[in-house]
Amino acid sequence: MSPKEAMKELIMGKCYKIFYFKRPGRSCGIVILGAVSLMSCRDKREPGRVYMPDMAYSRAYEAYAPNSLKQKGINYINYPVDGTIRRGDLFSYTLPNDSNGYKMSAEVKDPLPPLDSVGLHEAQRLFNIYCAICHGPNMDAQGPMAGKVGAIANLKLPQYVKEPEGQMFHVATYGKNNMGSYASQLDKKQRWMVIQYIKSVQAGSAITAAAGDTTSAKATTPTSPKDSMTAKK
Ligand code: HEC
């Protein structure tokens, strides 16, 4: 038997075993040809069949993600009930994102107690991550994006030193002109912390002088805006 014939014999023999043909012949060849052409014509973008998908992919529902539980008669509340807040959370900020809301926000008061040195240090860290890229670590609008983003507010200017804390919170929540909203990066408490930090720096508090060193006694010394915040409570 020539090697070619031996190969043919082998293939036909296998074919015979797989498809249980009585006699390996032309039909076997057609079946193989058909299978090959079927495989080659399959859409490559189609993921194909998955064996036991329930084990390969989690069927868990993501919190707050759309799901079909209601249609299945399962009582699952997708979102917090209206008018309720998470335990330990701050009240919702309800002023609208428009000029009227901006004006009214001047009356909104910081609900947090004055931050201690650890809190201020954390607030500084958040400011340096999210705000300093434009406003600069010294809040003089000299961050790395200065010149690339137009009209960055120099928070050292008197108009911003005088700006009510609520209005700053409003801007951090919704954004203003070239500044975007930070509500998805910083939760309400973090936003208020950052505003307290801005206010303390604007007042020339020790934390700027001792940036990154809040363990110094200077940083914990109460400053005038913090005193006024305490007085408000
Ligand atoms: C992409 C650059 C950019 C980043 C990042 C940024 N800001 Fe601003 N910010 C601006 C610009 C631009 C303005 C001026 C907006 C205007 O009045 O047109 C501004 C204005 C402000 C004002 C003055 C608001 C007012 O009422 O006029 C405050 C307060 C402020 N930013 C706080 C923050 C805080 C807090 C963060 C970080 C959470 C932050 N900014 C991050 C660009 C930025």
Determine whether the shortest distance from the Cβ of 179 to ligand 1 is under 6 A.
Answer: yes
- Tell which CATH architecture fits domain 99-216: Orthogonal Bundle (1.10)
Range(s) within the chain of domains with CATH label 1.10.760.10 = 99-216
Q: Which residues contact 228 (CB under 8 A, 6 or more apart)?
A: none
Name the residue with higher pLDDT: 186 or 29.
186
Helices of type H across the chain: 3-19, 26-41, 53-56, 99-104, 117-130, 132-135, 158-161, 165-174, 188-202, 206-209, 217-220, 224-232
Region of residue 20 (phi > 0: left; psi between -120 and 50: alpha; otherwise: beta): left
What average pLDDT does this structure show over 37-60?
72
The token pair at 15 is 């074919």
Q: 108 CA to middle of ligand 1, Å?
A: 18
Q: What is the pTM of this model?
A: 0.65
Determine whether the shortest distance from the Cβ of 153 to ligand 1 is under 6 A.
Answer: yes
Q: Which of 13-17, 29-33, 190-194 has the lowest mean pLDDT?
A: 13-17
Looking at residue 41, its pLDDT comes to 57
DSSP at 82? T
Looking at residue 116, its pLDDT comes to 94
The token pair at 195 is 């505003």
Name the residue with higher pLDDT: 177 or 65.
177
